[in-house]
Structure 1
């Protein structure tokens, strides 16, 4: 598990990425000029493009026409769509997905202050017991469920991605490996 200091340092970067993705993209390009970056403004889409996967080994997600990487995720026996957001410190779920996964219940106290493109909002800190994305499974994934209407699509953030062996951008694809 990552140290608490990592989350405290990455939270501002994640918030900037959500609120002002164009600023985050410029800052990330300055910090990591050799890596391609992707703007991470949440945009609803019909369905994620299929991942190119082998039974074992790396998974390749192909960018959609907007340049976003979308994936099919599974937790608690239920599937849902998510957009990969390397600028998000943590996995962020919509209220409906949180309900579907039995991670939240109506009337629960929201305990996590978040800054989103729609402004400041309180979310509910949760832990996803096992999160599988394109066949790559990670256990005990920290996440936040946002209230209804605060988020259009689930975001697959660093609390999942950092637990993979590697993830990297390669041409028009995102390679994930466990």
Structure 2
């Protein structure tokens, strides 16, 4: 009798998870196809992991490893059909330092960009956003899963590449 109860609970749990995933999958598909979503960064992995780990290992708390946890939820890239706004931290080597120290990281707002979206081979989407501003051009390559989790690879001429892991959410109505 106990085996039947355990089997019934397991089937119910898997069915419930599948229903939740389908709702999330539909929302993800809707916002990606509408080009209206926000990528929220939860962790960052710089290109020069060894150098960053050496520095972080000497700090209080002694973080180790290549991934940097971003506890705050305000590091994001907001995509709309007519603009892209980014506010992300940057860890790595920059080949040109900003004159104003408050302009560090990856912060930009642009209306001049190209947007290429391609459905993944098995699932999800591969999206490339290429900015065309005078100050600095960025290439943002999103790899988005059906469940809304995403990876952002950011490339620039003046900075080493960095990768962010996070998730998508709907843009809030104004």
Verify same fold: TM over 0.5. no
Larger radius of gyration: 2
TM-score of the two chains, using structure 1 as the length reference: 0.28
TM-score by length of 2: 0.29
